Homo-oligomer: A and B are copies of this chain.
Amino acid sequence: MTPERHQRILSMLAHRQPDLTVCMEGVHKPHNLAAVVRTCDAIGVSAVHAVWKNEQMRASGGIAAGSQNWVDVHNYTNTKDAITEIKKQGMQVLVTNLSDKAVDFREIDYTKPTAIILGQEKFGASDVAKEMADQDIIIPMVGMVQSLNVSVANAVVLYEAQRQRELAGMYGKSTIDEDTRQRMLFEGGHP
């Protein structure tokens, strides 16, 4: 590994936010999966969760999601298991949902340990996700379209989280666990 690449990986690791994550619930278009994970990497999300509604989606979508070596993808076959695991980690669970009880996404405190649930391209988040989540959030829209593209919605919320965490001095603190750190440094030298 060149010294430059080593430095680059160290810097990336120092900015990782292990207590901020995304759960993709049935998102399955490869370009959306790839764009979600790419944005996660860019703002420092170290691991995401993916719920696959069937084997076919997992097969095609898993590759797109996993093409990003630098973000770990945890896979599930149902939503309940995914959210149960996330809650075990002490995170507030926010579901992006175009409902009346949803609050504006900017009202949330993202400096708390947070997981954001993204719904499927066509049908949105499931009833199970909506029941298990602590809060519905919505990105305001004033046009004629009914919703945003899912990777766009993910980015708008994550960059608000990035803004708040940057202001709170949460970047550059190297809070990622030592195992992940060692693994990333090792894999970065053996791509």
A residues apposed to B, CB below 8 Å: 8-9, 11-12, 15, 29, 31, 34-35, 38-44, 68-71, 106, 139-145, 148-149, 151-152, 155-156, 159, 162-163, 166, 171
CA separation between A163 and B107, bound complex, in Å?
Answer: 12
Contact A143 B35 (CB under 8 A): no
CA separation between A3 and B159, bound complex, in Å?
Answer: 38
Look across to chain B and name the residue whose beta carbon is closest to the beta carbon of A40.
B143
Contact A8 B144 (CB under 8 A): yes
Number of copies: 2
Residue in contact with A38 in the complex, picked from B106, B139, B145, CB distance below 8 Å: B145
CA separation between A29 and B34, bound complex, in Å?
Answer: 14
12 further interface pairs, Cβ-Cβ under 8 Å (given A29-B31, A35-B149, A40-B143): A15-B142, A15-B143, A38-B149, A39-B152, A41-B143, A42-B139, A42-B143, A42-B148, A43-B141, A43-B142, A69-B144, A70-B143
Contact B155 A44 (CB under 8 A): no
Do A159 and B142 contact each other (CB < 8 Å), given the known contacts A35-B149, A35-B151, A151-B149? no
Look across to chain B and name the residue whose beta carbon is closest to the beta carbon of A11.
B142
Do A143 and B12 contact each other (CB < 8 Å), given the known contacts A148-B39, A152-B155? yes
Contact A152 B12 (CB under 8 A): no
CA separation between A42 and B142, bound complex, in Å?
Answer: 5
Please give me the 7 A-B residue pairs with the lowest Cβ-Cβ distance, nearest first. A41-B143, A15-B142, A42-B141, A35-B149, A152-B155, A70-B144, A42-B143
Most buried by B among A8, A12, A159: A159
